[in-house]
């Protein structure tokens, strides 16, 4: 069994180049499968979700080849069917993008239920509602569901909640539907704009992505192109937060600073200095942190995916901080683990009340999802003694090589691998 061991490190210092966005890449890979010709994507990280998408693609006759670091060639011209192994589909969240992407091409998609990070409740009712509005028929089975459509027809779709996944999925399906689709109350995340930009390069007619109303004029065919994914704003945000946690100076390069607007504003409020220079951001902290209040919301609000690393930072800010997650009110698994490290945090109905400034101590803790993992890693950098973090496979869904990256900034961090006592360790940490 593998785990990550972190020791207290003050003053992380250095520069990190930010890779392509995980969440964008997942949508771009599905979108590329809609093309009639090969597509080349740059900035696709070598993460666990990418690997399972390659396995699925191979099963259904789509060629995906990694040519150079970050660059991927996709040839969807030989797609045989869209019958996707349920087990593989449930190893990541966005298997449902293959419904939107392949329905018009294949007429029928069979796929397992989505996996991904588990925050108790992650419904897909808005995906179903949007695809049904375009003419899809759903049949649900225990392990998988089937979606069929002889023809997709454009429609007016009003989302009941703002959802990034359903906005992307509806947009994918509408691109090859007959006539016009209008998506209202759409999510505005940069990953949606990125997906629309790729599709438009392929010959789609999408306007309004990045606003709450997206219009899609259906087209009959899509051509190949070369496209680069946007940088990962969530990885960048967590590195910037690490400057505050350790009292260090961190520069993230190759980012789009506007994508991090709400995170940078919150860091400044907490007392972390932020400087933007072109496509780079430097965060520095001399250690005087202030408690604050954070409410997550959909983009451009404060991202739910940055709530966990920020919570680690707020354990270091003297005073009372309040963190509410309005997107996923149950997304607080990391809090139980932070408490094992001595953090003084009370949880009440979707809100964490943090009494910051109490010293943290290293312990055995378990990462239950990607961002809980990064939260515990940051807490480990601030804690006395050693922190051992299990659940490494969650890090592998979001990061290519997190240990190396933090080591290059001076962090005392190691990946450990041993079969000895492993089961016992896992049990202790998961409690």
Tell me: is residue 305 an annotated ligand-binding position: yes
Residues between 366 and 385 with contacts to ligand PEP, criterion CB under 6 A: 370-371
Q: Which helix (H) or strand (E) is 96 found in, with range?
A: none
Shortest separation between residue 221's beta carbon and ligand PEP, angstroms: 30
Nearest residue to ligand PEP, by Cβ distance, number only: 116
Angle at 43 between CA 92 and CA 112, to 5 degrees: 15
Asked if 108 and 82 count as a contact pair (C-beta separation under 8 A), the reply is yes
DSSP H helices, 134-279, are: 164-175, 190-201, 233-246, 261-270
Question: Which lies closer to ligand UD1 via its Cβ, residue 99 or residue 317?
Answer: 99
Q: Which does 73 bind (CB under 5 to 8 A by kind): ligand PEP, ligand UD1, none?
A: none
Residue 398's binding partner out of ligand PEP, ligand UD1, none, with CB under 5 to 8 Å set by partner kind: ligand PEP
75, 189, 194, 305: residue in contact with ligand PEP (rule CB under 6 A):
305
Is 423 a binding residue for ligand UD1 by CB under 6 A? The answer is no
Query: Contacting ligand PEP (CB under 6 A), which of 398, 400, 402, 409?
Result: 398
Residues in Cβ contact with 144 at an 8 Å cutoff, skipping those fewer than 6 apart: 86, 89, 110, 111, 112, 113
Provide the mask over 173-212, with x wherever binding to ligand UD1 is found by CB under 6 A and - wherever it is not: --------------x-------------------------
Q: Does 9 bind ligand UD1 (CB under 6 A)?
A: no
124 is a site residue for ligand UD1 (CB under 6 A)? yes
**163 near ligand UD1, rule: CB under 6 A:** yes
The pair phi, psi for residue 133, each rounded to 5°, is: -60, -25
230 and 42 in contact (C-beta within 8 Å)?
A: no
- Spell out a b/e string for 303-331, using b for 16 or more CB atoms within 10 Å of the CB, else e: bbbbbbbbbbbbbbbeeebebbbebbbeb
**Residue 45 binding partner per list ligand UD1, ligand PEP, none, with a CB distance cut-off of 5 to 8 Å that depends on partner kind:** none
Residue pair 303/235 in contact (Cβ under 8 Å)? The answer is: no
CA 148 from centroid of its chain's CA atoms: 28
Q: How many residues bind ligand UD1 (CB under 6 A)?
A: 20
Residue 161 binding ligand UD1, by CB under 6 A: yes
Q: Which of residues 4-33 bind ligand PEP (CB under 6 A)?
A: 22
User: Nearest-CA neighbor of 126 among 99, 104, 106, 92?
Assistant: 99
- The interface with ligand PEP within residues 80-99 (CB under 6 A) comprises 93
Verify cis geometry, omega within 30 degrees of 0, for the bond prior to 300: yes
Is 386 part of any known ligand binding site? no
Choose among ligand PEP, ligand UD1, none what residue 319 binds, the Cβ cut-off being 5 to 8 Å by kind. none
Please say if 384 is a catalytic residue: no
CA distance 71 to 311: 34
Indicate the residue among 45 and 380 with the shorter CB distance to ligand PEP. 45
Report the distance separating Cα 60 and Cα 81, nearest Å. Answer: 6
**Which residue from 72, 126, 118 is spatially nearest to 91, judged by alpha carbons?**
118
Does residue 90 interact with ligand UD1 by CB under 6 A?
Answer: no
CA 385 to chain centre: 30
Q: How far is CA 319 from CA 88, 334, 358, in A?
A: 45, 20, 10
Using CA atoms, how far apart are residues 218 and 241, in angstroms rounded to an integer? 42
The correct pick among 327, 335, 341, 379 for binding ligand UD1 (CB under 6 A) is 327
Residue 117 beta carbon to ligand PEP: minimum distance, rounded to whole angstroms? 4
Task: Tell me the window of 100-108, 120-128, 214-222, 421-429 that interacts with ligand UD1 (CB under 6 A).
Answer: 120-128
Which residues on neighbouring strands pair with residue 182, listed in sequence order?
156, 215
Q: How far is the CB of 210 from ligand UD1 (least distance, A)?
A: 15
Q: Does 116 bind ligand PEP (CB under 6 A)?
A: yes
Angle between helical axes of 22-32 and 48-60 (0-180°, round to 10): 10
Does the footprint of ligand UD1 cover residue 126 (CB under 6 A)? yes
Cβ–Cβ < 8 Å for 201, 225 = yes
Binding site for ligand PEP (CB under 6 A): 22, 93, 116-117, 305, 370-371, 398
Where in the sequence numbering do the catalytic residues fall?
A: 117
Feature table: binding site for phosphoenolpyruvate = 22-23
């Amino acid at each position: 069994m593998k785990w990550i061991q972190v020791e207290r490190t003050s003053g992380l210092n250095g520069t990190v180049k930010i890779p392509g966005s995980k969440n964008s890449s997942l949508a771009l890979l599905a979108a590329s499968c809609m093309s009639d010709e090969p597509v080349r994507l740059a900035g696709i990280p070598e993460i666990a979700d990418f690997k399972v998408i390659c396995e699925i693609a191979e099963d259904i006759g789509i060629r995906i080849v990694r040519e150079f670091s970050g660059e991927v060639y996709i040839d969807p011209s030989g797609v045989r069917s869209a019958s996707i192994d349920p087990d593989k589909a449930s190893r990541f969240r966005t298997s449902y993008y293959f419904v939107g992407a392949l329905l018009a091409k294949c007429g029928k998609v069979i796929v397992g239920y989505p996996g991904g990070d588990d925050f108790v409740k992650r419904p897909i009712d808005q995906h179903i509602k949007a695809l049904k509005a375009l003419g899809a028929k759903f049949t649900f089975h225990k392990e998988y569901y089937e979606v069929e459509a002889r023809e997709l027809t454009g429609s007016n779709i009003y989302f009941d909640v703002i959802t990034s996944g359903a906005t992307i999925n509806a947009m994918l399906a509408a691109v090859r539907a007959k006539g016009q689709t209008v998506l209202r109350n759409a999510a505005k995340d940069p990953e949606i704009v990125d997906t629309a930009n790729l599709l438009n390069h392929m010959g789609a007619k999408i306007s309004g992505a990045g606003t709450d109303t997206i219009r899609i004029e259906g087209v009959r065919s899509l051509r190949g192109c070369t496209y680069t994914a946007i940088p990962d704003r969530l990885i960048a945000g967590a590195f910037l937060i690490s400057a505050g946690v350790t009292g260090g100076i961190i520069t993230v390069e190759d980012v789009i600073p506007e994508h991090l607007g709400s995170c940078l504003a919150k860091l400044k409020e907490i007392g972390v200095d932020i400087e933007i220079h072109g496509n780079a951001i430097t965060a520095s902290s001399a250690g005087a942190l202030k408690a604050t209040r954070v409410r997550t919301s959909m983009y451009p609000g404060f991202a739910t995916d940055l709530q966990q690393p920020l919570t680690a930072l707020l354990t270091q800010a003297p005073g009372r901080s309040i963190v509410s997650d309005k997107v996923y009110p149950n997304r607080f698994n990391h809090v139980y683990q932070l408490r094992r490290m001595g953090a003084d945090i009370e949880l009440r109905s979707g809100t964490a009340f943090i009494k910051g400034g109490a010293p943290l101590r290293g312990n055995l803790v378990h990462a239950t999802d990607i961002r809980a993992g990064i939260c515990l890693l940051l807490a480990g950098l601030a804690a006395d003694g050693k922190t051992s973090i299990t659940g490494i496979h969650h890090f592998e869904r979001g990061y290519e090589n997190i240990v190396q990256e933090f080591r290059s900034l001076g962090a005392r961090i190691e990946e450990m691998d041993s079969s000895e006592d492993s089961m016992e360790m896992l049990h202790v940490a998961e409690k």
